[in-house]
A and B are shown apart, each in its own frame.
Chain A
Amino acid sequence: MTESLFYFLASLTLLCALMVVIAKNPVHSVLFLIITFFTISGHYILLNAQFLAAVNIIVYAGAIMVLFLFVIMFLNISKESEHKVKTSTLSKFAGTIAGGLLFVVLIAALKDTGVTGYSPDTYNSQVGMVENLGQVLFTQYLLPFELASVLFLVAMVGAVMLGKKETGEQHF
């Protein structure tokens, strides 16, 4: 049951991720990306990590992708601008070669790695629950956690600075 569910979810994830790249309309791409995030959340639930699944949906599908959709809807108002973008043969070649090289590097990196198993006796199935995650984050990984929060604060201050009206700027 779980295994077939995993294969279904995995194939759906790959299909949607592929459609993000293939889709002609950028809004369709964004919608496929949202479905991809949902399927990834499904994987988290299969791994018994409910907190990560919920946060993944809230942060990525709920906030970031809304902003993506926002910007793309604004850009996409005039349909004519789409046809102006033409890819030259040279850039197509360059893209194919670069992608192929990346593929080779990935295969080289992954061909010798094995999947480390887990022992069912010592494995704690509740490891992905909120309480356990909070315990680990606030004891074992306290410093990285706090540093990440400082990073967010810096990003917020930067955004406020960029958005601030300068003196003498016209008010619309």
Chain B
Amino acid sequence: MESVELIYKAIYILVIFGLTLLIATYSTYAERKVAAFIQDRVGPNRAGPFGLLQPIADAGKMFFKEEFIPAKSNRLLFIIGPGVAMIVACMSSAVIPFGDTLIIDGRTIYLQAIEVNIGMLYIFGVVSLGVYGLMIGGWASNNKFSLLGAIRAASQNISYELAMGLSIIAILMMTGSLSLREIAAQQEGFNWNIWYQPLGFIIFLTCAFAETNRTPFDLPECETELIGGYHTEYSSMKLGLYLFAEYINIFVASAVISTLYFGAYNFPFMENLRSAISDPVLANNVVTLLGVGVMFAKIFFFIFFFMWVRWTLPRFRYDQLMKLGWQILIPLSILNVILTGGGILLFDRVKDYLF
């Protein structure tokens, strides 16, 4: 029993890992297609049907490019930097519930790699580590512009982490649990958190853009002010890993947004569907598999949303970014926490009064 559980977990983690990498790979293709659509171009269409082999061609090109390490750089840290960025990006998808339970041969299987009762804190901790990859890489390059880019990235990430944490606190007050499986399970049917936390969602979304260094907050790699940001000196697949880590971060951010605010694997009328099928095991499995599909549909929508915003909005100025983070988002999220607390108290009173 124990070893079977272990083997299942290992297979599941491998599948999630592979899926994360696959989705990140095809995000690069999707990004170029979306950009082309928005700018009225065709986009990549030479490699394979519809240009579907383009990411593989890109990766091949990256691997065959010259591997360049600056002469006066710190060699070890220069090599470790992209690896740290990549590992940290891959770590956070472990606690995300991609689906409810599957029942196979009477055994209940949770579609979640690891269930910890501090799931949200785990994600938050991993996100806060993401900045090390950039900082180590930027500093080890021994280049003024890399260092400036790294410093910018670090201060941006630290500033937006605060507002992000505060907006999550409002969710935690409502659900009363840090476990992502619990948070997902409480949004049964159409009872999604977005209906109760619209302000918190907007704050979280803005912070997610800033944490993943996406436009309009891609100041760490602002070409007009810095040459290329923290990865100025990087070439070949090391640069590829940095860019790839960004896409993995987008995938994870989309998954977290879907889980926290858009009901994870829940969809409207899932109870009706469950009761419509007579065999309870079959009903459970059908609902779960549909739920996994719905979860990925939500994730893909948010990945598309990230790209949509990138090709629509111009970049902020750095002082505007800092002002938005510290003077607008943090007070707003504190207000959101207070409103949520008041709402919970009021709801309890009204419930006592009515019933």
A binding-site residues for B, Cβ under 8 Å = 25, 27, 31, 34, 50-51, 54-55, 57-58, 61-63, 66-67, 69-70, 73-74, 77, 129-130
The 6 closest A-B CB pairs, nearest first, are: A62-B128, A54-B121, A57-B125, A58-B125, A54-B118, A50-B118
Known contacts A27-B139, A31-B136, A51-B121; is-contact A66 B116 (Cβ 8 Å): no
Give the complex CA separation of A67 and B135 in angstroms.
11
Give the complex CA separation of A62 and B74 in angstroms.
23
Question: Taking CB as reference atom, which chain B residue is nearest A53?
Answer: B118
Question: Taking CB as reference atom, which chain A residue is nearest B123?
Answer: A54
Q: Is the CB of B151 within 8 A of A57?
A: no
Question: Taking CB as reference atom, which chain B residue is nearest A34?
Answer: B132
Most buried by A among B128, B150, B155: B128
Report B-chain residues with C-beta under 8 Å of the C-beta of A74. 151
B119-145 interface mask toward A, CB cutoff 8 Å, 1 = contact, 0 = none? 001101100110110011001000000
Interface of B, helix, strand, loop or mixed by DSSP? helix
Interface of A, helix, strand, loop or mixed by DSSP? helix
Q: Is the CB of A58 within 8 A of B124?
A: yes
Question: Taking CB as reference atom, which chain A residue is nearest B150?
Answer: A73
Give the complex CA separation of A58 and B154 in angstroms.
15
Known contacts A61-B129, A66-B158; is-contact A51 B150 (Cβ 8 Å): no
Report A-chain residues with C-beta under 8 Å of the C-beta of B334. none
- Chain B contact-residue range equals 20 to 34
Known contacts A50-B116, A58-B128; is-contact A77 B147 (Cβ 8 Å): yes
Report A-chain residues with C-beta under 8 Å of the C-beta of B122. 54
Report B-chain residues with C-beta under 8 Å of the C-beta of A130. 117-118, 178
Q: Does B226 contact A (CB under 8 A)?
A: no
20 contacts between A and B (CB under 8 A): A34-B132, A50-B118, A51-B118, A54-B122, A57-B125, A57-B129, A58-B121, A58-B124, A61-B125, A61-B128, A62-B128, A62-B129, A63-B128, A66-B158, A67-B158, A69-B132, A70-B151, A70-B155, A129-B117, A130-B117
Q: Is the CB of A73 within 8 A of B139?
A: yes
Most buried by B among A27, A31, A54, A74: A54
Give the complex CA separation of A59 and B301 in angstroms.
32
Known contacts A58-B125, A63-B158; is-contact A69 B135 (Cβ 8 Å): yes
State how many angstroms separate the Cβ of A96 from the closest Cβ of chain B. 31
Q: Is the CB of A66 within 8 A of B135?
A: yes
Q: Does B77 contact A (CB under 8 A)?
A: yes
Report A-chain residues with C-beta under 8 Å of the C-beta of B129. 57, 61-62
Report A-chain residues with C-beta under 8 Å of the C-beta of B132. 34, 66, 69
Give the complex CA separation of A55 and B131 in angstroms.
17
